């Protein structure tokens, strides 16, 4: 009996770290779609859960802005927006979330704490004391919670684009729920299934004619070639900041930070009604509605999004008015 009371378990093992796009041979089409040097000023930092790829663009003395991407598309999603802000004098930090793009994929639960800690440690590494936050889709949920967990690292402006964070299970497709189940994830991680996915991706690439859509292709390539990408996405849906962040938005509503929310009326991924729900939690935010805009606003409406961000970031504190704006 004494042995069972006083015995200690084995020391915990370090987390399993799965590789990123950087591990693929340069002959893989991912290097032509989304190369490691997609943005200038790129570097890696090794954090407790693996290497993180980041880029810093714009003048070094510019006002600091962090861009946080969404569920499945890495920092390439900002290709038509971030360089615009950098050209206008902002110092922009872009990075790939764990499990996406060129950042490693630890075998852990992909919850909001993982993502907010990743950004806090990255900012510590580059010696940024604080920055404005811009979050897209799931990145909006991360940004809102980051402001709650690390308020000292956030300047007075937070911009949310097609923001997730409070989605209901009913708005997640049945296919996504099935694919993110532990059983399906176990099966999909087996070598035969992974080989099939790679052959399917290669066949799709070979059959495409005309210009390649890099946004669609990078999701396909990650799913086919990265051993933990699908599991990272699945865990983010089940455990992560896509849902359950009402408390963070409420805290944002009680803060003095200025908040901009941009959302399209034709968004099929995060339906437009969530814009008003977020506004109910953050009454002082400015809602800009893009008529007929879908979910990938940084691609389809890059100019409008860039102009809105530039205007928002240039505003003096307290000068943003409450209410709504509709762009057609």
CA distance linking residue 179 with residue 223, whole number of Å: 12
Mean pLDDT (the chain, rounded): 88
Do the beta carbons of residue 138 and residue 240 sit within 8 Å?
yes
Question: What local confidence, expressed as pLDDT, does residue 192 receive?
Answer: 55
The distance of Cα 54 from the centroid of its chain, to the nearest Å, equals 13
- List, for residues 134-152, the tens digit of each pLDDT value: 999 999 999 999 999 999 9
The candidate with the shortest Cα–Cα distance to 250, out of 225, 222, 284, 220, is 284
pLDDT confidence bin for 196, thresholds 50/70/90: very low
In a domain, 7, yes or no: no
Q: Do 110 and 236 contact (CB within 8 A), yes or no?
A: yes
Of the pLDDT bands very low, low, confident and very high (cuts 50, 70, 90), residue 182 is low
Is 327 within a domain? no
The answer to whether residue 94 scores a pLDDT higher than 90 is: yes
Residue 184 has which token pair? Answer: 């399906």
In a domain, 236, yes or no: yes
Structural tokens at position 326: 């509709």
- Residue of 129, 98, 103 lying closest to 232 (CA atoms): 98
| pLDDT interval class at 169 (50, 70, 90) | confident
Domain that holds residue 52: 17-22+29-314
Which residue would you say has higher pLDDT here, 195 or 248? 248
- What residues form DSSP beta bridges with 66? 93, 133
Closest Cα to residue 233, out of 293, 147, 173, 300? 173
Question: Residue 70: its pLDDT value, please?
Answer: 97
Domain annotation covers residue 319: no
Q: What SS3 state is found at 190? A: coil
3-class DSSP state for residue 229?
A: helix
Calculate mean pLDDT across residues 175-203: 55
φ, ψ at 27 (rounded to 5°): -75, -15
Is the pLDDT at 281 greater than 60, yes or no? yes
Q: Residue 197 pLDDT more than 80?
A: no
Q: Angle formed by the axes of helices 246-253 and 273-281, to 10°?
A: 50
Q: How far apart are CA 25 and CA 44, in angstroms?
A: 18
Answer yes or no: is 93 within a domain. yes
- For residue 39, give the CATH number of its domain: 3.40.50.1820
Highest mean pLDDT among 198-207, 231-240, 264-273: 264-273
Query: What's the number of domains the chain is made of?
Result: 1
Does some domain include residue 147? yes
Quick check: 308 pLDDT over 70? Answer: yes
Q: Which ranges in 96-213 belong to alpha helices (H)?
A: 112-125, 138-149, 174-179, 182-188, 191-207
């Amino acid at each position: 009996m004494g042995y069972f009371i006083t015995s200690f378990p084995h020391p915990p093992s370090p987390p399993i770290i799965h590789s990123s796009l950087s591990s693929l041979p340069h002959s893989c089409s991912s290097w032509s779609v989304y190369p490691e040097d997609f943005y200038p000023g790129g570097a890696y930092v090794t954090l407790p859960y693996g290497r993180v790829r980041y880029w810093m663009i714009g003048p070094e003395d510019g006002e600091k802005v962090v861009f946080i991407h969404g569920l499945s598309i890495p920092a390439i999603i900002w290709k038509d927006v971030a360089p615009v802000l950098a050209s206008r004098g902002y110092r922009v930090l872009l990075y790939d979330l764990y499990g996406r793009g060129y950042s490693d994929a630890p075998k852990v639960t992909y919850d909001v704490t993982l993502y907010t800690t990743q950004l806090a440690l990255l900012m510590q590494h580059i010696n940024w004391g604080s920055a404005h936050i811009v979050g897209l889709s799931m990145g909006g949920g991360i940004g809102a919670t980051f402001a709650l967990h690390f308020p000292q690292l956030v300047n007075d402006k937070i911009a949310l684009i097609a923001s997730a964070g409070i989605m209901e299970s009913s708005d997640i497709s049945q296919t996504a729920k099935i694919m993110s189940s532990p059983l399906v994830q176990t099966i999909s991680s087996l070598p035969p299934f992974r080989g099939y996915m790679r052959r399917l991706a290669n066949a799709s690439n070979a059959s495409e004619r005309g210009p390649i859509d890099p946004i669609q292709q990078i999701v396909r390539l990650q799913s086919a070639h990265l051993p933990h990408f699908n599991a990272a996405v699945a865990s983010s849906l089940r455990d992560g900041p896509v849902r359950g962040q009402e408390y963070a938005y409420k805290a944002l509503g009680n803060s003095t930070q200025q908040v901009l929310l941009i959302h399209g009326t034709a968004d099929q991924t995060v339906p437009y009604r969530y814009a008003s729900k977020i506004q109910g939690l953050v009454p002082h935010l400015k809602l800009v509605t893009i008529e007929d805009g879908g979910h990938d606003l940084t691609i389809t409406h890059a100019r409008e999004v860039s102009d809105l961000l530039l205007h928002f970031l240039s505003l003096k504190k307290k000068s943003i008015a409450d209410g709504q704006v509709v762009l057609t």
